[in-house]
Amino acid sequence: MADDPDDWTPDLTIAAAKIHGYLLNLDHRKGRHKARVLLACGFTQPDDHLLLSALFRHARPSQLVREVAGVHGRKYVYEGPLETPDGSNPLFRSVWQSRPDDPRRFFCTAYPL
């Protein structure tokens, strides 16, 4: 994917537990299905920075498909290819949320489409 310097979202935050304890955890009740897909695409626990970078790049303005205001802040839904180590780049949805008093977007989840 070509990098467009104007196609990025500032202030994205991902808790480490979302990567290790959820998205790349084959033992997590809800995350194990996502982990199977992500691990098959070449992501690994030791190289978690690759998944972090891919998720940050995924949440670009050109892939924003929905933005919804709610009581607890705004929800942002992004859809498009997730850049993977094996180059398969499957279509994924990532969901982020901001709080009313904090403009940062906190990562909630991601899953294949």
Span 35-88, pLDDT tens digits: 999 999 999 999 999 999 999 999 999 999 999 998 889 999 999 999 999 999
Alpha helices in the chain (DSSP H): 16-18, 32-40, 48-58
Q: What is the pTM of this model?
A: 0.91
CB 73 within 8 A of CB 98: yes
Looking at residue 63, its pLDDT comes to 96
Edge-to-edge strand list for the sheet holding 73-81 = 12-13, 102-112, 91-99, 73-81, 64-70
